[in-house]
Structure 1
Amino acid sequence: MDHSALPTDPLWPRAGNWPAPSGHSDFALIGVPTWRTSISATNAGHTPDAVRAMIPRYSQFSHSGGRELTFADHGDVLDPDLDERGAVAAVAAVDAELLVALGGDNAATVPTALGRWGDRLATAGLVTVDAHYDLRDGVSNGSPVRRLIEAGLDGRRVVQVGISDFANSGEYAARARDLGITVVLRDELLGRPIADVMAEAFEIAGSAGGPIHVDLDVDVCDRSVAPACPASVPGGIAAHELRAAARAAGRHGQVESIDLVEVDASADTPDARTIRLVALCVLEAAAGLAQRP
C-alpha cells in the first residue's frame, strides 16, 4: 500500500510506522508469520506486513482517553515454523508491557504464549476467542491449545470463547471437558455483551495471579467481515465484538500478550476488509492499554 498517497494533516496524526525497539516500550508489535503446518491452504505468512501497511489508514486517537504510550515494532520472527525455539526466544526478548503478535496461522499462539510466559507457565492463563477448540493431535494450526496444555498450562485456566457448531467434533468437545477448559459457545454470545464474557474469562484465566495470553483467532468472525480467514463461516461474531474483545484484553492488567491470527491477506476482498479489521484490533488493544491504571 502506497503511504505517499495518504493525505497529510498535522492535526490528524496517523497510527503505525512505529520505530524499532530501543529499550522498554509500553506497546510492542511483532510478526510471527506461521503458515507451513496449516490444515487449510494459506499464505498467512504474508499477513503481518499487510497489517502494518494498513495501520496508517487510521489514527491512534480514542475518545476513551488514557495515558500516552510508547510504541515499538520488533519486525518479524524468521520462519517460526522451522525454528519454534528461536521464535520463543525472540518473543521473550521483547521488553514491553503489552505485546501484540501478528500471525500467521494459529500455530503462532504457541511461541508467542511460551515466550511471554517464560518460567511462569505454572500460573499462566489462556483466553481464546475462536470458533475452534484447537485441541487436535500433532503439530498444526489446529493444535496450539493442546500443545500449551501438554507444555504445562493448567486446562482449568483456559477459557475458549466463541466455539461454534459445525466447526468442531464431539471428540474434541469431550477433550475440552476432560481438560477442565471453560467453554463459551457461539450461541451463548448472542445474548451477552462480549465485554462481560471477557471479564469473566480473565477472572478464570488469571485466577493463579499469573500472566494471561489472549488468542484472537479472526475466523471467529462472520465470513462477511472476515473473508480472508480460510475457516470463517456465516454466523460468526460481529466485527465490533472482536474489536471489543481486543480492547478488553488490552485494558486488563494481567494480559501481557495478544495474538491476531488465521488471516490470509492474499485471499482478502479488494477493500481489504479483513486486514482492516485486524489493524483496528491492534489499535483497540493499544487503546485498552492506555486505560490501564
Structure 2
Amino acid sequence: MLAHDPLWPRAGDWPVPTGRSDATIVGIPTHSTSLSPTQSHLTPAAVREALRRFSLQSSLVITDAGDATEPDTVDATAFVAAIDAGLVIALGGDNSATVPVARGRNAHGLVTVDAHHDLRDGVSNGSPVRQLVEAGLSGTRVVQIGIEPFANSRHYADRAADLGITVITRDVLRHRPMDDIMAEAIEIAAAGGGAVHVDLDVDACDRAVAPGCPASVPGGLAAIDLRVAARVAGGHAAVASIDLVEVDAAADAPDGRTVRLVALCVLEALAALETR
C-alpha cells in the first residue's frame, strides 16, 4: 500500500478523455507476433501502477484512453486515430505497437531509439520500420539511434542504407550527448513538414537497467539516456506521438526497475510538453 499524502499528489490515475487533451496515454499491448516469447501485453497496466510511485506537477490536460482491445490488428490504428490530443504516449506491448501509433497519428517522420533496425520481412515486432516505409514513409525521414552492430545482420544494415535511413550507432553515443543527437534526429525526421513519431524501444538500454526487455544487452544505453530522449521528444513541437515498447513486465527484476523506467519516461515527456 502506497502512503497517502495530500501535499504530494501522485502521477497517473488520469481521467478518460471527454474532449481535446494536451496529452493522452494509451495502451497498445501488442504481443501475438513477437519473435520471442513475451507477456508484453501485461506492461501497460504495470506502467500505470508504477506511475503512482512518482509525482508530476503540471497544468496540462492529461487523459488516459485505456487499452486498444485488438492491438495486433488494423483496429489499433483507428483507435489511435480517434484520439484528440496534442501528444499521444503509447504504452506497449512489443515493437509492433509502433505501426498503429505512427499510422494513427499520420506520422511523416520517424525517430527510433532502438538496438535493432526492425527491417525484417514479414509482420512481427522485428519489422515495424519496414512496414511503415512500405506504407509510404520515406526512408530519408527515418533516424535510428542506438543501433547495436552485434544485434543486427549485415543484410539489414545494408537495407537501412539502401532506404536512406540515418543510423547512429551505440558507439556514437559515447561521444555525443543524447539531447543533441535527439534534437538533430527530430529535425531530420521533421524535414518537409508533417508529424513525427518517436519510438523508444527500451531494449536499447543496458541489460542491468532493463532486465524486463528480452533483447536488451550489456553495454546498452544508460537509464538517464532514455529519459533524456523522452524529454527531448516531448518538448519538440513536431512530435505528435511517442511509444515505449519491448518491455515484458512479467520478466522484470523484483524491484520493477524496467517498468519504473518506462513510467519515468512518460513523465519526462509530459514535463517537456508543458514547455512547448
TM-score, structure 1 normalization: 0.93
The alpha carbon displacement at 1:258 in A equals 0.2
Query: How far apart, CA to CA, are the structure 1 residues paired with 2:186 and 2:200?
Result: 14
Match of 2:239 in 1: 255
Query: How far apart, CA to CA, are the structure 1 residues paired with 2:3 and 2:212?
Result: 27
Match of 2:86 in 1: 97
Query: How far apart, CA to CA, are the structure 1 residues paired with 2:162 and 2:131?
Result: 15
Q: Which amino acid aligns with 2:64?
A: D
Query: How far apart, CA to CA, are the structure 1 residues paired with 2:41 and 2:10?
Result: 25
Query: How far apart, CA to CA, are the structure 2 residues paired with 1:98 and 1:264?
Result: 24
Aligned counterpart in structure 1 of residue 26 of structure 2, from 30, 40, 43: 30
Q: Does 1:6 align with 2:14?
A: no
TM-score, structure 2 normalization: 0.99
Match of 1:60 in 2: 56
Match of 1:46 in 2: 42
Match of 2:71 in 1: 80
Q: Does 1:244 align with 2:228?
A: yes
Aligned counterpart in structure 1 of residue 103 of structure 2, from 108, 111, 114: 114
Q: Deviations over 1:164-187 (max 9, x none)?
A: 121000000000000000000000
Q: Deviations over 1:2-42 (max 9, x none)?
A: xxx21111211111000011101101000000001101110
Query: How far apart, CA to CA, are the structure 2 residues paired with 1:288 and 1:230?
Result: 29
Query: How far apart, CA to CA, are the structure 2 residues paired with 1:260 and 1:275?
Result: 10
Q: Deviations over 1:89-129 (max 9, x none)?
A: 00000000000000000000000100011xxx5xx100000
How many pairs does the alignment contain? 276
The alpha carbon displacement at 1:79 in A equals 2.5
Query: How far apart, CA to CA, are the structure 2 residues paired with 1:18 and 1:168?
Result: 39
Q: Deviations over 1:116-158 (max 9, x none)?
A: 11xxx5xx10000000000000000000000000000000000
Query: How far apart, CA to CA, are the structure 2 residues paired with 1:35 and 1:203?
Result: 31
Q: Which amino acid aligns with 1:19?
A: P
The alpha carbon displacement at 1:203 in A equals 1.0
Q: Which runs of 5+ in 2 are unaligned?
A: none
Q: Does 1:163 align with 2:147?
A: yes
Aligned counterpart in structure 2 of residue 16 of structure 1, from 12, 17, 20: 12
Once the two structures are superposed, the pairs formed by residues 71-220 of structure 1 within 5 Å of their partners are 71-81=62-72, 84-117=73-106, 124-220=108-204
The alpha carbon displacement at 1:275 in A equals 0.3
Q: Which amino acid aligns with 1:267?
A: A
Q: Deviations over 1:218-248 (max 9, x none)?
A: 0000000000000000000000000000000
- 4+ long deviations beyond 2 Å: none
Q: Secondary structure at the match of 1:42?
A: coil
The alpha carbon displacement at 1:80 in A equals 1.4
Identity %: 64
Q: Secondary structure at the match of 2:74?
A: helix
Query: How far apart, CA to CA, are the structure 2 residues paired with 1:9 and 1:229?
Result: 33
Q: Secondary structure at the match of 1:148?
A: helix
Query: How far apart, CA to CA, are the structure 1 residues paired with 2:59 and 2:71?
Result: 32
